[in-house]
Amino acid sequence: MSENPKSSRGYFATKAGIIAATVGSAVGLGNIWRFPYECGQGGGAAFLLCYIGFIALLGIPVICAEFILGRAAHTDFFSCFERLGSRRGWPWMGLIGIVASLMIISFYSVVAGWAFEYLRLSLSGNLISTGNSQGGFGAYFATFTGSGYAIVIWTVVVLALNYAMVLGGVRKGIERASTIMMPLLGVLLVIMCINSLMMPGAADGLSFLFKPDFSKITWNVILGAMGQAFFSLSIGLGCMLTYASYFKDSAELFRSAATTGILDTSVAILAGVMIFPAVFTYGIAPTQGPTLVFEVFPTIFSKMAGGTIWAIMFFFMLALASLTSTISMSEISIAFFVDKCGMRRRMACILSFVLALAGGVICALSFTHLDWPVNFFNLFNNVSSNILLPIGGLLISVYTGHILNKKIFTEQLTNNGKLHGVPVGLLRFLLRWICPPAIAIILAMSIGLI
């Protein structure tokens, strides 16, 4: 890690390392688990169309905004508003982001745990035979998630692995892991897509994913697509901001933001191309929600030659991709504990771990037969993506567009005038006049306020 002589904060060493880390954060279960089921529930192509619109109009500008704030302040989400000169109250938004990040890591580590269990099943050679149980792969998955203690163990394992990697520091832990894993995942996905395209239901799957039925677009679908865009890009609660606080002055913010947006969206679309042909070939309901892909993946592997080997590679990559995402989530609260509260990094990691563990266990137990009045997993999942992240994105846009000194905005995007061709004016316009009202209207319409 390159040390900044003035502080103990680390820096990402290379440009490739920056892209690998931001893409590593963005690409994860959000693309491969959440996108397909949200898209399936939102009517397929209609959802995809809204989603791509949100990535371009809101997503990439908000990533730029987080990058600008993070690199200009070189500190955590809470302190950055203090450092950049804010009116009262803004740092508290940082605190909301920190709480939201702990909520997200709680349910996310449960899903990552599912991926680990499926990796274990594949390694033991038993994955494909689970389909022989009564009710097939779907029923097996329901039994597993209802089993309680197995999920709790996996959630704890995921969190322990995550914090062990995080303790390695910014560059060693995050950068190295992401640089190796992300390209491999891409290659594997392309192979899986080719396999899906040869299935008898390929034409139906592709038309579901790419041929929009505009009557399916409701406010709920629009809200879901917006929430998914925020979730998948890791924006709205200061995750990209925290990463950008570790960027060097030579990093190109707009280019990194655009690359992250494009790669992340490509992975989501590849996941769709992999999943939906199988959904239509094997008669699986695309609208079933969070359980969808854990029924579809094993089904696909059970029909492939050498299925177990493919399954091992796939779940291995999925588990790793989820770890590069959880690493970025935990960094939000850790940076806050270190920068704002003055804790040592080790202590900050332990505190963040304990908080995430409490949340993770609660979410893991949501699927058991415990008679809790609310399902915390669904609550955390939906409230964080569809409400907290958009509200965070709205406030970040307002702050960056209207309150932050325009000079800082331009200097950050152009590296003090050294970079040419960055659409500074367009980005500022979007952040000032498009993102805040669009997010506000969508939130209000879907909650039924207007």
The stretch near ligand TRP (CB under 6 A) out of 22-30, 53-61, 214-222, 282-290 is 22-30
User: CA–CA separation, 265 vs 389, rounded Å?
Assistant: 18
Query: Considering only residues 282-341, where is the footprint of ligand TRP by CB under 6 A?
Result: 325, 328-329
User: CA–CA separation, 40 vs 292, rounded Å?
Assistant: 9
User: CA–CA separation, 229 vs 59, rounded Å?
Assistant: 7
User: CA–CA separation, 23 vs 9, rounded Å?
Assistant: 21
Q: Does 237 bind ligand TRP (CB under 6 A)?
A: yes
The stretch near ligand TRP (CB under 6 A) out of 65-73, 196-204, 226-234, 360-368 is 226-234
Minimum Å gap between C-beta 174 and ligand TRP is: 12
> Residue 45 in contact with residue 238, Cβ under 8 Å?
no
Minimum Å gap between C-beta 342 and ligand TRP is: 24
User: 432 vs 275, 400, 401, 407, CA distance in Å?
Assistant: 38, 8, 5, 15
> Residue 311 in contact with residue 303, Cβ under 8 Å?
no
Q: Does 45 bind ligand TRP (CB under 6 A)?
A: no
Query: Considering only residues 107-146, where is the footprint of ligand TRP by CB under 6 A?
Result: none
Query: Considering only residues 376-435, where is the footprint of ligand TRP by CB under 6 A?
Result: 389
Minimum Å gap between C-beta 34 and ligand TRP is: 7
Q: Are strands 2-3 and 10-11 parallel, antiparallel or unpaired?
A: antiparallel
Minimum Å gap between C-beta 442 and ligand TRP is: 18
Minimum Å gap between C-beta 147 and ligand TRP is: 24
Minimum Å gap between C-beta 356 and ligand TRP is: 13
Give the residue at shortest CB distance from ligand TRP: 30
Size of the site for ligand TRP (CB under 6 A): 16
Residue ranges of the alpha helices (H) in 42-175?
Answer: 45-54, 60-73, 77-83, 90-123, 136-146, 149-167
Nearer to ligand TRP, 104 or 192 (CB): 104
User: CA–CA separation, 332 vs 100, rounded Å?
Assistant: 10
The stretch near ligand TRP (CB under 6 A) out of 156-164, 185-193, 230-238, 343-351 is 230-238
Token pair belonging to 124: 């033991």
C-alpha atoms less than 13 angstroms from C-alpha of 82 in its C-beta half-sphere: 12
Contacting positions for ligand TRP (CB under 6 A): 25-26, 28-31, 104, 231-232, 234, 237, 239, 325, 328-329, 389
